[in-house]
Amino acid sequence: MQNPFVYGEVVPLSAFADRVAELDRLVADLAAGQKIFLISPRRYGKSSLVRRALAAMAKQGALTVEVTVSSYSSYVAFLEGYARAIVSAETRWDRARTWLREVIRSARAEVHYSPDASPLGSISVSFPNVRSERDQSRLAQEVFALPSRLAEARRRKVVVALDEFQGIAGFDGGSVEHALRAAVQHQREVGYIFAGSEPSLMERMLGPKRPFYKAGPVIRLDKIPADEFSAFIDARFARSGIRSESGLGAAIVELAGNLPYDVQRLAHETWDEVRADGRRRATLDDLHLALRRLLTEQQMMFEALWQRLKAAQRGVLRAVVLEEGRGLLSVEVRERHRLGGASTVQYALGALVRDDLIGREGDRYVVVDSLLREWVARRTF
């Protein structure tokens, strides 16, 4: 029997929880050729939602393209990956190669093909003679125009998803934003999703002095309602032939901080505990066994992380856990945890946020990884 809970990868349709309103809005805006900004903290299921939206648009006949910006180490590598993704939307290798070489005039495009299980095979694209910033700028104009050219050539709507979009900030300063905005604002036949998992960076990119200011609608992902998520977990257990103890779904959601990734992880591991014993009923004891096993498996990694932190950061991280992220600058909390002055605490909080160990959630700080939170609470002093 296959485990019904999925984590560590894009969640398939069968294991996808909720997000009905967000998905409907995404699909409607993409069908209208909108440029949508999807902002979400990590572990909220952003990439899975994007994949669902692309699948829905493909069913409507659109050509879909997905690129993870943060995967590329340089601006040119990103342009090569973007071009490869666009031409891969073609259905024939020879036509894709010819089409790209006709469209890219500023640089010599080297296009290579190797057969695999997909209809088009595997395509690689490179621009070896692009070296200077001027070369990059001219190439970017042509590459960013490719979705519109594809829509025109195929007479179909095109949808482009640029995941981890905040990664473009590392490419050649703000010129990338200007070039991309200049291209997409005229492409009415192309819908875009600019999705980012670092909310503070994404919000700055949409500010009044940045190129993408008021460029399109903004969707900010919130947590799935806890009661709906709990019911989803219990239903998935039942559908797989395992009856869950009353309150198990709610306990998983609470222990995982209601983060989709962490909820799926805890549910997955709890399901494995039950199946390993050949039982048909999942209990709260199974959940805690799974949690203890996960903490043991992650022990070395968390210890290494803890050792890298400065003493002040360790103290503040423990305070975030034990005080549930509230009142960290107050005299009472600082004295209780021996944190030092308010400025020291503020500096440590900033460092922990920059390292993506904690984040803001309303009026409090939260540990991003629920397993790290439990490890700090149980195994540090």
Residues 310, 68: Cα–Cα separation, whole Å: 33
Most confident range (mean pLDDT) of 13-17, 140-144, 261-265, 345-349 is: 345-349
Helix runs in the chain, H state only: 20-31, 46-59, 75-87, 93-103, 133-144, 146-154, 175-184, 199-205, 226-239, 248-255, 260-276, 284-297, 299-308, 311-322, 331-336, 342-354, 370-379
Amino acid identity at 15: A
Yes or no: say if 4 and 163 are a contact pair by the CB < 8 Å rule: no
Q: What is the mean pLDDT of the chain?
A: 90
Predicted local confidence at residue 365, as pLDDT:
96
What digits encode the pLDDT tens for the residues 49-83?
999 999 999 999 999 999 999 999 999 999 999 99
Q: Which residues neighbour 245 within 8 Å (Cβ) at sequence distance 6 or greater?
A: 281, 282, 283, 284
| Alpha-carbon distance values, 329 to 121, 232, 312, 325, 343 (Å) | 57, 38, 13, 10, 9
Predicted local confidence at residue 119, as pLDDT:
53
Predicted local confidence at residue 18, as pLDDT:
74
What digits encode the pLDDT tens for the residues 156-174?
999 999 999 999 888 876 6
Predicted local confidence at residue 93, as pLDDT:
64
Predicted local confidence at residue 10, as pLDDT:
72
Predicted local confidence at residue 227, as pLDDT:
94
Confidence of residue 117 (pLDDT cuts 50, 70, 90): low
What digits encode the pLDDT tens for the residues 323-363?
999 999 999 999 999 999 999 999 999 999 988 899 888 88
> What DSSP character marks residue 71?
G
Confidence of residue 307 (pLDDT cuts 50, 70, 90): very high
Most confident range (mean pLDDT) of 8-17, 124-133, 139-148, 309-318 is: 309-318
Is residue 239 scored above 90 in pLDDT?
yes
Most confident range (mean pLDDT) of 125-139, 207-221, 307-321 is: 307-321
Name the least confident of 100-109, 304-313, 333-342, 353-362. Answer: 100-109
Confidence of residue 94 (pLDDT cuts 50, 70, 90): low
Tokens of 120: 């088009």
Is residue 254 scored above 80 in pLDDT?
yes
The CATH number fitting domain 299-379, selected from 1.10.10.10, 3.30.70.270, 3.40.50.510, 2.40.128.20:
1.10.10.10
Q: What architecture (CATH level 2) is domain 19-220?
A: 3-Layer(aba) Sandwich (3.40)
Q: Compute the average pLDDT of residues 33-51.
A: 91
Name the least confident of 11-20, 131-140, 196-205. Answer: 11-20
